Copies of this chain bind each other. A is one copy, B any other.
């Protein structure tokens, strides 16, 4: 068996011009707003009913459940977000709210440990009869994650006790033994949550049950069919359901899947959990199965923005190289699951290919999901929009040109909030003798090497500049400082205390590993190549054939009608376009804007009403103005595109 290289996640205090305002937004705007939403205090918003459901359950009432079967998870995600926020800094007021919510959850908990207001209120006695549809363990998983985050912030044992009791009930109920249900949840989530709870508590039964879920899933006979038969035999009312087995990740055991199929969020949540299992058990063959799935996604099913799950059809992965720009689904929650998954693979094998993808998702397809003011959200993240289409074709019912304040199905807004609050886990990793820097975000982390406490302080104006400065403080210790060399940087310079160091010889899996005895005051400076790049798609990616996307640093750019007028498909950019760029503080909360005068568009001089012509219309020079993709749809409504037609110059 190959030796794995586990690198624990390391938390870091973030102090960053790009990210800190976003974390503050979550703390100051999103968390209070969500709390009001959960309590139905927002005028004009769709009723949530989440807290009301828990009150009713706590009081032993019945028949009054509001919202979706996964409504409970909204409270869980809020609580987890609060946990991450409190990890950044305690807040008495907020903790009071959260503690009250925890009490409410505890009061709603059944004697056997079960928590689930939908069944408690509407179907008492029918718990676990329909694990395919009813998200009971999905909700449980989110509560377990919340418990871990909140405990780690506050040492509050109450939520942990509640959730361990719930976990114990699940561990007892599900499994391969006589009298247990050999089932698994229709929406993966609990797999990774049980591993988190195991890591915190050391209770190995949580890990074992998680492994059972991962391995049992998709085996024949399909559990979802088995339980359906049981429900029918019990005379339960059933709707016809045409969703395919891969929607539920139950089409095949994960080891046999090979390609990433079905509902994208479910898929990547499962893959993240399976990666945990592979890691905890040192299971090489499972790891290899998961890595094949990763390769399939990254090499064939991922947008240039890092978005995944291209198809509106069951919110699913579709097939290789099927990445339509206007019909993109690319759900925000799928981006989050993708980050969770990549993060886990990165801890097993510190290879920059994982961290590069994480970075791609972070600065593009994830961040596009939330407006700059934190008050509105995209569920779907298209790469091209022509507003007149919205609502005029039934094939992209979900693609909107404006972010929405909240959703009936509110999965994405609380999910992106909790992700941003948890960002500090994505920056560094450590093991006994290595400290990895995966992401360039202003922050400070403390680690102990050979008994010495070492602090690393990272300063940077990333992603607008490519300068990163790392300063070592604390005691003396020998370890390798491993700096990710982003694949987009064509030329990277690293200086150690002012002297350029030769990178090639010390580079391993995309990280420059500087091994030495570090001393207080050592300074590493890194300069990344921030020149603007024209990105081209693989030739099989039909939707973008002949087109190019603009990237600078980790940021993928787009064109908006606000800057470029309408009909963006008519615009062409020269293969050898030159760009001018500048950071514009008052544009879109501060972005680095790009311009090129090497663009062309059709001259309308000869254009008549003829729809088709043999004429070859003359083209005229035009200026193209690019803004970061994540910042689109924060001004007036209009067209947007990431891919622009490339005007090939210097044809061979």
Contacts and interface: CB of A to CB of B under 8 A. Distances in A.
A299 to B, nearest CB: 5
Interface in A560-612: 567, 569-570, 572, 575, 601-602, 604, 607, 609-612
Contacts of A615: 536
B388 A319 contact: yes
A312 B393 contact: yes
Contact of A538 (B539, B612, B648): B612
Given A394-B312, A535-B612, A648 B647 contact: yes
A374 B386 CA distance: 40
User: Which of A614, A615, A649 gathers most chain B CB within 10 Å?
Assistant: A614
A542 interface: yes
B540 A394 contact: no
Given A545-B569, A572-B546, A645-B546, A613 B312 contact: no
Contact of A539 (B300, B386, B394, B570): B570
Contacts of A602: 539
A652 interface: yes
A537 interface: yes
Size bracket, chain A contacts: 35 or more
Given A651-B649, A652-B618, A539 B612 contact: no
Contact of A392 (B318, B533, B537, B572): B318
A613 to B, nearest CB: 6
Nearest to A603: B539
B298 A611 contact: yes
Contacts of A239: none
A393 B311 contact: yes
A177 interface: no
Interface in A310-363: 311-313, 318-319, 322, 327
A636 interface: no
A490 B302 CA distance: 47
B652 A536 contact: no
Interface in A611-652: 611-619, 645, 647-649, 651-652
A161 interface: no
A539 B607 contact: yes
Contacts of A649: 651
B395 A394 contact: yes
A637 to B, nearest CB: 16
A534 interface: yes
A389 interface: yes
User: Which of A302, A396, A616, A647 gathers most chain B CB within 10 Å?
Assistant: A616
User: Which of A533, A546, A613 gathers most chain B CB within 10 Å?
Assistant: A546
Nearest to A538: B611
A602 to B, nearest CB: 4
A650 B238 CA distance: 66
Contacts of A322: 388-389, 392
Contacts of A537: 611-612
A572 B394 CA distance: 31
A538 B393 contact: no
Nearest to A613: B536
Interface in A372-428: 386, 388-389, 392-396
Contact of A536 (B569, B614, B651): B614
Nearest to A652: B618
B540 A567 contact: yes
5 contacts: A298-B611, A386-B542, A488-B614, A538-B610, A542-B569
Given A295-B609, A538-B610, 9 more contacts: A312-B395, A394-B395, A395-B395, A534-B614, A536-B613, A539-B567, A546-B569, A575-B616, A647-B651
